[in-house]
Chain A
Amino acid sequence: QVQLVQSGAEVEKPGASVKVSCKASGNTFSDYYIHWLRQTPGQGLEWMGRINPNSGETKYAPNFQGRVTLTRDTPISTAYMELSSLRSDDTAVYYCARDPGVLAFDPWGQGTLVTVSS
């Protein structure tokens, strides 16, 4: 059973960047897309983008294009999400999730709270 373990909570100032990691257990890291999503009380769940861990090919949601960068380090089965030019409304819980090949998200990481505050 694959598990995704994310890095810990972050507090950042407006204008800064944050990088969240997502480490996958098991030997199938390269086989399935890794997606990044976030959840806020106001906007609910938002899809940010995905990365193909095998090729590194990425696709971003228009709302985050230009501010989000997804990368991966395949030998250590870890994916990363970096969000730049942070604003207070970027305060959210950020999740990674895998697509097991059915165009859905399962499993999810435990979530990383990112707080943007001056």
Chain B
Amino acid sequence: GQNIDQPTEMTATEGAIVQINCTYQTSGFNGLFWYQQHAGEAPTFLSYNVLDGLEEKGRFSSFLSRSKGYSYLLLKELQMKDSASYLCAVRETNDYKLSFGAGTTVTVRA
């Protein structure tokens, strides 16, 4: 199995930047996903990293370091609608199984 850790909660102000860290311990690795989940709704895909480095998508960026077993999701220019839970998920090698972290609840304050 996999051990995936992320902080439980984070709070930030509208317009600010927040960085959500995710660390993982796996015997194999075949990609890392970030999902956003608003309360009571289904998770929706945000980003995918399989190689080291930064992937940027508008206000959201995701970084991966495979040697450190570490990723972060960066949310810039925070908006109230960004208040949600953010899920880190790791895919194992030769297996399409996804293992999820417990999620980080981000609260954006005015």
User: Does B bind A?
Assistant: no
A residues whose Cβ falls under 8 Å from a Cβ of B: none
